[in-house]
Structure 1
Amino acid sequence: MHMSKRPNVLWIITDQQRAETLSINGCENASTPVLDTLAKTGVNFTSAVSGFPLCCPYRGSMLTSRYPHHCVPGHEYQLPPEQPTVASVFREYGYDTFYLGKWHLDGAKESEERAGTHYIPRERRGGFDSWLGYENNNAQYDCYLHGHRGDREVEMFRLPTYETDAMTDLMINI
């Protein structure tokens, strides 16, 4: 297939969601029209399998293409700042990169602080051109983001509504 224009790439990472939980993949108990449309017009991985049963190691592995024991071996471990991520590969091909959402790769200790307000320094944000995120959050109506848009730092701010809705609005308006 020859393309005259590079495609835009939207990579959606969800936590603990199997392929069959989307209505396009046969789930009769779910209504997922937006994700169904994206799956119909893009790529829908129906047989993908996580290489690790915990969020942090799998996120690290997925963003770096390395096995978890070579980047983030467990929960509350930090992705090494010098570790290249998918952001550097996309940049090599002329893409601008933007990360939005849960990072969970900075090693915040839940026993010592609320991970939802843990500050992640720029050098530990995976090399993305722009990055708005948080370490981890389990309070969907009390979610805070921080990061950078290009060269400009973005101070921590509270999302105005339910996390998923507010993040969707942010992504649409980027």
Structure 2
Amino acid sequence: AIPLLLEMEDAAPDKGLPVQWLLDCADHFARLIVELENTVQSAAGVNRESSHINCVVPVHTQPNGKHGCPRKVINPTFLRTAFHPSRCIKLHQLAKQLKIHLQTLKARLHQNGIDHWFSTISDDELDNLVSRPNALWHIDGHHKLIMWGFVIHGVVDGYSRIVPGLKASTNN
């Protein structure tokens, strides 16, 4: 039983909900649950021959013949796809999903020559946007010390990365 539908069925007479609509919803939910269960079973290998589902296994272990943990090998095609500039996947999120250490992921990216930065802007476009010092400044505040009465605001030049301003205040 689906608790939401049961609550709606109980409230149907008071709220004016059509009972037939609720029954149709329950029927659709039941079909959806059956489909999801079939998908889970086929993904787990129960119905491999009739399944149209392919499970991607991007990480596999490779014994190194020495004592210690085996080497974790990540599919380079998977990494290139995951770190396409349009995806904006963060390193720590992917490492957590793949169940590998962040440094392992960084090392495999470096080995395969994969850049993990999000921006698709070219160097020429960046030079046009920030053509000289003082053309673009980045301003940010640091509020972690607010409990002790400190707020720090900093300014960084976008061209030279010099810090032209840093100020500690007692409020924002």
Q: When the two structures are superposed, what TM-score results if normalisation uses the length of structure 1?
A: 0.19
Q: Which has the higher helix share?
A: 2
Where relative contact order (Cα < 8 A, 6+ residues apart) is larger, the structure is 1
